[in-house]
């Protein structure tokens, strides 16, 4: 028997009992639709979590001075001054690991606008800092390399500072404020970032060129930190190794000496990210597995009943020339047709319900190709696997007894 005949026989047999075929399909339809919708919702929330975490800069690297022994006395890392412009030069030009670099020096002090003042921190950085920390300028413009070279008295201002020293809603751009007795012109307003996970207000900040802070406020040649961006999350570890090697060379440390700095990554963030997505994947696999089994049992159940109910039909087919193989393939093909048709309807229903979820609940959803392909393949496999035993039972019937069956 050729394939088109087989298909025709199975197709006609299914059409002969549409309701039964549909009920059998229902398990598959619901299974596939729920897998697609679940994965879409899961992927959507994973993406939004990822976006939120990325806004903190997941591939950011921080170099800090480390505690060190100095004549037997341990000295706190933060007060230890080791990072200089030589280190920045040493870390430059490794684009495969590090894409951006910025020194950082900070000074606490009062920001003063006329009669109003507010205690805050001024951080001196290079223009790349905004990229590294995923900061952006909402109004006005960021400062430039030229401002760094000239130690220009310009700054970017955070929302919290604005709220406190410009309480009446006037536009701060172009205004002069004072910080540590130095007048700074405000050239840009930072987009608000809110509080970070440690409860620090990330908007309570002033940002100025690092040279300005170093020379005009602190009178130092050292940096308190160096910030860098790894080329990607994947090369973070390599970047750490590379930076460590370069800094050790730059600091002329002997092999026996400990590092006088630490390079920190956002590993915890990355770990959180992967554990979140890992948990989602496990949950969704479980859902997919359950729906597979339920749909498959549905098919097997109906096919078994169907074989009994259609014993006489099987007897007739055998008497007019169907071989056991033909009967086996017919029932198998019916099961596959049911599961594939159910799969197609399920995919459409999955798309539809995903759209409905997005529109009514406003949840972010992403329909992943792999979930569509996977659920579809699972369908076909389910059809073959659970359709096989009933089909085999049918093919082994004795035609004489099957014909006499009432």
Partner 1 sequence: MSKKALEIKELKREFKMGSETVRALKGITFDVEPGEFVTIMGSSGSGKTTLLNILGCLDKPTIGDYFLDGVDIKKLNRDELAQLRNHKIGFVFQSYNLLARTSALENVELPLLYNKGISVSERRERAMHALEAVKLENRFDHMPNQLSGGQQQRVAIARALVNEPIMILADEATGNLDSRTSYEIMALMQELNATQGKTIVFVTHEPDIAAFSGRTIQLRDGIIQKDTKNENPRSAKEMLAALPVTDDYKI
Q: Which residues bind partner 1 (CB under 8 A)?
A: 1-2, 5, 8-9, 12, 15-17, 312-313, 315-326, 399-400, 403
Which one, 86 or 312, has the nearer CB to partner 1?
A: 312
Which one, 11 or 195, has the nearer CB to partner 1?
A: 11
Smallest separation (angstroms) from partner 1 to the CB of 5: 5
Measured CA to CA, the distance from residue 191 to residue 202 in angstroms comes to 10
Which one, 10 or 228, has the nearer CB to partner 1?
A: 10
Which one, 1 or 149, has the nearer CB to partner 1?
A: 1
Q: How far apart are the first and last CA of the chain?
A: 28
Measured CA to CA, the distance from residue 312 to residue 314 in angstroms comes to 5
Which one, 159 or 330, has the nearer CB to partner 1?
A: 330
Q: Going by C-beta distance under 8 Å and a sequence separation of 6 or more, which residues neighbour residue 157? A: 172, 177, 186, 188, 189, 190, 205, 206, 207
If we measure between CA atoms, which residue out of 396, 352, 166 comes closest to residue 175? 166
Smallest separation (angstroms) from partner 1 to the CB of 369: 37
Residue pair 106/224 in contact by the 8 Å Cβ criterion: yes
Smallest separation (angstroms) from partner 1 to the CB of 9: 6
Which one, 6 or 56, has the nearer CB to partner 1?
A: 6
Smallest separation (angstroms) from partner 1 to the CB of 323: 4
Smallest separation (angstroms) from partner 1 to the CB of 23: 17
Task: Decide: residue 327, CB within 10 A, 0-12 exposed, 13-18 middle, 19+ buried.
Answer: buried
Residue pair 58/195 in contact by the 8 Å Cβ criterion: no
Smallest separation (angstroms) from partner 1 to the CB of 380: 24
Six token digits for residue 260: 């006088």
Smallest separation (angstroms) from partner 1 to the CB of 393: 16
Which one, 10 or 98, has the nearer CB to partner 1?
A: 10
Smallest separation (angstroms) from partner 1 to the CB of 398: 8
The residues facing 174 across adjacent strands are: none
DSSP string computed for 320-373: TT--HHHHHHHHHHHHHHHHHHHHHHHHHHHHHHHHHHHHHH-------HHHHH
Measured CA to CA, the distance from residue 369 to residue 108 in angstroms comes to 52
Which one, 237 or 309, has the nearer CB to partner 1?
A: 309
Which one, 257 or 398, has the nearer CB to partner 1?
A: 398
Measured CA to CA, the distance from residue 297 to residue 306 in angstroms comes to 14
Smallest separation (angstroms) from partner 1 to the CB of 289: 37
Q: Which helix (H) or strand (E) holds 128?
A: none
Measured CA to CA, the distance from residue 14 to residue 346 in angstroms comes to 18
């Amino acid at each position: 028997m050729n394939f088109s005949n087989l298909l025709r026989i199975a197709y006609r047999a299914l059409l002969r009992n549409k309701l039964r075929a549909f009920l059998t399909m229902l398990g598959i339809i619901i299974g596939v639709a729920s897998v697609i919708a679940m994965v879409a919702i899961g992927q959507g929330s994973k993406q939004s979590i990822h976006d939120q975490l990325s806004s903190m800069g997941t591939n950011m690297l921080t170099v800090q001075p480390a505690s060190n022994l100095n004549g037997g006395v341990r000295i706190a890392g933060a007060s230890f001054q080791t990072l200089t412009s030589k280190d920045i030069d040493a870390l430059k030009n490794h684009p495969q690991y590090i894409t951006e670099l910025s020194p950082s020096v900070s000074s606490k002090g009062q920001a003063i606008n006329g009669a109003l003042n507010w205690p805050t921190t001024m951080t001196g950085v290079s223009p790349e800092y905004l990229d590294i920390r995923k900061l952006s300028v909402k109004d006005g413009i960021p400062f430039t390399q030229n401002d760094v070279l000239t130690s220009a008295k310009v700054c970017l201002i955070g929302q919290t500072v604005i709220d406190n020293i410009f309480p009446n809603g006037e536009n701060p751009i172009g205004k002069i404020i004072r910080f540590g007795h130095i007048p700074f012109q405000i050239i840009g307003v930072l987009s608000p970032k809110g509080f970070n996970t440690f409860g620090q207000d990330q908007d309570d900040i002033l940002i100025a060129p690092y040279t300005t802070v170093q020379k005009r406020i602190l009178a130092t040649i050292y940096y308190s930190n160096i910030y860098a961006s790894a080329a990607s999350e994947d090369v973070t570890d390599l970047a750490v190794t590379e930076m460590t090697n370069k800094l050790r060379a730059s600091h002329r440390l002997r092999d026996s000496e400990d590092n006088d700095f630490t390079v920190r990554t956002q590993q915890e963030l990355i770990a959180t990210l992967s554990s979140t997505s890992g948990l989602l994947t496990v949950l969704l696999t479980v859902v997919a597995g359950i729906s597979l089994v339920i749909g498959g049992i549905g098919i097997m159940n109906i096919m078994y009943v169907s074989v009994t109910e259609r014993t006489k039909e099987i007897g007739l087919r055998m008497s007019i020339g169907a071989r056991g193989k033909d009967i086996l393939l017919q029932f198998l093909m019916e099961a596959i047709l049911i599961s594939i048709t159910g799969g197609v309807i399920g995919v459409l229903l999955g798309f539809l319900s995903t759209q409905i979820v997005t529109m009514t609940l406003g949840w972010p959803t992403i329909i992943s190709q792999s979930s569509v392909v996977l659920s579809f393949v699972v369908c076909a496999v389910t059809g073959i696997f659970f359709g096989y035993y009933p089909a085999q039972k049918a093919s082994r019937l004795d035609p004489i007894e099957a014909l006499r069956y009432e």
